[in-house]
Every structure is written in C-alpha cells, then in structure tokens.
Amino acid sequence: MRRNARASVCCILWIAPLAAQSLDDLLKDPGQGWTLYSRTQGSSNQAGVVTKLDTNAGYNFNQYFGVDFGVPVYFVYPSIGKATSILGTHQRDGLGNVYLDLRFTLTRPIVDFVTYATVAAPTGDRKEGFSTGRVTWDWHNHFYRTFGRLTPFANAGLADTILDSPFYLRPFSSLGLIGHFEGGATFNFWRDVSVGSSFYAIVPSANQQVISKLSGKETTIQKGSTLGQIFEIPSQPTLGPDSVRDQGFSLWCEAAATSFLDLDIGYSHSMQYSLDSLFFGVGLNWKTLYQKTRGH
C-alpha cells in the first residue's frame, strides 16, 4: 500500500503541471513559453541517503525574464551503524517546501549572469525534517563565461535558509540569515561530456534553527563547543551561527545522454562535518522530449 501511494505521488507531481496548459502550449520558441523539467538527485554518506524528486513548471516571458514553480519530494534512508541509536532506522518520504522563483538572465558582453529570487512555502512536514515550518527566501546570483571548452563560474547569494545544491543534498534544514558562495569551473572534454569542480562556503550571520532530515528531530549545540554532526543530535532547535558554517568542495562528471536527458555523478566533501558524500542526478526536460516525439 505504501509503495503504491509513493508511486501515485510521483506520477501526480510529474503530470499535474500539465493540467493548466495543453502539451501544444509547450511548443513555443525555446527562448519563450512554457517549460517543464524534472530532476532526481541523491546524496549518500555515512549518516544515510537523502534523495529528492524535484519537478518544476515555468514560463519564459522573453530572453531576460522567467518564472518557475517547483514541487520537491524527499525520500530518506538513515544509515544502519553507529548512528542508528540516534537516528533510528525509520525510512521516510514526504513533500518538501513548494517554491516559486523569479529569474533574470543577461548574456555578455563581459559575463553571462543569472539571478534568482526564490520564496518557499512551509508545505513540508517539520516533524520529519522536510521543512523549518516557516516561509523562507533565497537570492542567488550566478556568473559564468565560456572560453572554448572551459567555463569558469561564481555564485553568491543571501538567504534565511540553506538550500540544497545541485550536487549536495544537505541532511538538515535550517532557518537563519546566511550568505552562500561558490566558485569553480567545468571543462567539456568530449562531445556532451564535462567534468567540473568547485569550492563552496556557507557564512551565517545569525543564530540558526536546524532540523535533521535524517532523524526528523530538532537539534542544538552551544556556540563554541565541539560541533560534531548537528543533524545527529536531537534536542532544542536554536543554535549559534557556527553550527551551519561550512566550507567544502565538489568534483563531478556530467553528460547529456540525449537532447532531453542529463546525467551527473560526483563527490562532495564538507570540511565542517568531515562528511564525504557521493551524489548523482538525473534530469528530464519534458518539453524537449515532447518536441522530439512530435518530430519537431
């Protein structure tokens, strides 16, 4: 029964965005019109496995402005080992925080630039660790420029929560003002296959509320004490800024398997938590797939 219910949720999340518009509406100019995209990604480390299915429907008003609406669903599998007594072995899944983002894109002459303003509603279950129980926001800026096969990039943003990155599903949710930064590059070495690396930093400037996705419990630790892995310590919800301060790096390989299917796999290391994670991602562009089946 649980498996059937889970499958039904996934199908609804993939199909529901089409209800408001027919598939023919997706066949507008690629730079304008409706978009529909699904991405499944997961991170596995010594604390457990967190997987997310994120489906978003969007509309590009022109080459500069667009909007997206997304619905994430989480699947969590705590590890069986030394953390079992703390985290338990309860496998859980559930809706995350649905979100809306507005984006602005500007291409060259100096650098390509994309900025997002994202607002997420508290639709996830706080008790299961899928939400902080509050409306959250994030302002994200992405700068990049391609030189032949090499594409350096830099990201900088401000938020009141730590969002998942494309390469790292964090094992906790947070609430508190933070700055997030990343710099790196990708290199296209063969056809549609690229490798990449980046360094990131999370810089908090206020106390944080942290809820573990793995235990589904609120966590705490006093400022100045040994941090350990905060997502394994159930107690009170309020922590000092250093609780989520983090630096780390990621290495990955990505490929466009087809014109509508993207794959990536890689490794991420968190220096703060001494956490080594393997990650994967599969992206499906429903608009391109439909166009291809219709012979466009």
Look at 117 and 85; give whichever has higher pLDDT. 117
Tell me: pLDDT of 269 over 70.
yes
Of the pLDDT bands very low, low, confident and very high (cuts 50, 70, 90), residue 238 is low
Task: Please count the structural domains in the chain.
Answer: 1
Domain of 195, CATH number, reads 2.40.160.40
Q: Are 116 and 138 in contact (CB under 8 A)?
A: yes
Average pLDDT across the chain, whole number: 81
Tell me: pLDDT of 123 over 80.
yes
Of the pLDDT bands very low, low, confident and very high (cuts 50, 70, 90), residue 163 is confident
Predicted pLDDT of residue 220: 46
Q: Is 140 left (phi over 0), alpha (psi -120 to 50) or beta?
A: beta
> What are 173-194's pLDDT values in tens digits?
888 999 999 999 999 999 899 9
The domain in which residue 224 lies consists of 2-293
Please report which helix (H) or strand (E) contains residue 7, including its range.
Answer: helix 2-15
Tell me: pLDDT of 73 over 50.
yes
End-to-end CA distance of the chain: 40
Strands 208-212, 218-219: parallel, antiparallel or unpaired by DSSP?
antiparallel
Look at 48 and 199; give whichever has higher pLDDT. 199
Look at 70 and 231; give whichever has higher pLDDT. 70
> Among candidates 95, 56, 45, 89, which has minimal Cα distance to 75?
95
The CB-side HSE value for 116 (13 A sphere, CA atoms) comes to 19
Q: Which of 19-23, 117-121, 243-247 has the lowest mean pLDDT?
A: 19-23
Tell me: pLDDT of 234 over 80.
no
Q: Which of 8-17, 32-41, 63-72, 116-125 has the lowest mean pLDDT?
A: 8-17
CA-based R_g, the chain, Å: 19
Q: DSSP letter for 230, please.
A: G
Of the pLDDT bands very low, low, confident and very high (cuts 50, 70, 90), residue 292 is confident
Distance of CA 21 to the CA centre of its chain: 26
- CA 230, CA 213: separation in Å to the nearest integer? 11
Of the pLDDT bands very low, low, confident and very high (cuts 50, 70, 90), residue 42 is very high
